[in-house]
């Protein structure tokens, strides 16, 4: 359904993600399927850059994301171990280049960001959530002993509509800028 069409349901907010390359996505999504509690895993592996943009930005957001992706080369990143989410576990990602791109997007939308999105995120891929702290720590110990650092480059930017139990893809833009530019 078009977020602009009239309905009884309020328009859905937008989520912006950093898109993973195919091999990293497949690996992280497999971890998520194994370790996420059954029945709670409604999403595929992802890296959230912004949690909620207003539906009123439905025209501007795709234009800005397309422009920024077109201007930037794929930003380098590294999976740098596990991250404790309290009641879950994530793969920690280090990527100053992606954070710089996120800052560029945030600068463009200054005044339109939610309180949650005003702060620079700790980039990560959640592989387990909504479990006991003990179960989360056990997975962190298990993954930590076998997890090797993994270098990659983000593939693009993604836009999704938040639908409470799932996300609908609203667009994806590949990084196309010249390397070293």
Distances (CA, A) of 83 to 109, 125, 176: 29, 9, 30
Digits of tens for pLDDT over the chain (181 positions)? 454 555 556 788 999 999 999 999 999 999 999 999 888 888 999 999 999 999 999 999 999 999 999 999 999 999 999 999 999 999 999 999 999 999 999 999 999 999 999 999 999 999 999 999 999 999 999 998 888 899 999 999 999 999 877 899 999 999 998 654 4
- Region class of 111: left (phi > 0), else alpha (psi between -120 and 50), else beta: left
Asked, for residue 51, whether it belongs to a domain, the answer is: yes
Asked, for residue 9, whether it belongs to a domain, the answer is: no
Cβ(128)–Cβ(36) below 8 Å: yes
Q: What is the pLDDT of residue 166?
A: 82
Alpha-carbon gap, residue 163 to 138, rounded angstroms: 31
Asked, for residue 78, whether it belongs to a domain, the answer is: yes
In the chain, alpha helices (H): 22-35, 60-71, 96-108, 133-146
Asked, for residue 119, whether it belongs to a domain, the answer is: yes
Asked, for residue 1, whether it belongs to a domain, the answer is: no
Segments forming the whole domain that contains residue 146: 14-168
Angle at which helix 60-71 crosses helix 96-108, to 10 degrees, equals 140
Asked, for residue 176, whether it belongs to a domain, the answer is: no
Per the structure, the count of domains in the chain is 1
pTM here is 0.89
Structure tokens at 140: 């962190």
End-to-end Cα spacing for the chain: 39
Looking up residue 28, the CATH number of its domain turns out to be 3.90.1140.10
Asked, for residue 139, whether it belongs to a domain, the answer is: yes
Distances (CA, A) of 98 to 13, 68, 103: 22, 11, 9
């Amino acid at each position: 359904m078009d977020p602009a069409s009239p309905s009884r349901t309020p328009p859905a907010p937008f989520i912006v993600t950093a898109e993973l390359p195919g091999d990293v996505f497949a690996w992280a999504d497999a971890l998520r399927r194994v370790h996420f509690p059954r029945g709670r895993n409604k999403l595929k592996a992802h890296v959230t850059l912004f949690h909620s943009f207003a539906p009123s930005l439905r025209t501007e957001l795709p234009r800005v994301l397309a422009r920024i992706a077109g201007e930037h080369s794929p930003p380098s990143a590294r999976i740098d171990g596990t991250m404790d989410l309290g009641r879950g576990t994530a793969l920690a990602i280090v990527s100053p280049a992606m954070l710089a791109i996120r800052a560029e997007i945030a600068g463009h939308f200054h005044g339109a960001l939610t309180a949650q999105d005003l702060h620079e995120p700790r980039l990560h891929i959640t592989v387990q959530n909504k479990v006991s702290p003990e179960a989360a720590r056990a997975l962190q110990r298990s993954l930590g002993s076998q997890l090797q650092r993994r270098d990659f480059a983000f593939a693009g930017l993604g836009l999704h509509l938040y639908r409470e139990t799932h996300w609908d893809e609203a667009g994806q833009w590949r990084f196309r800028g010249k390397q070293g530019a």
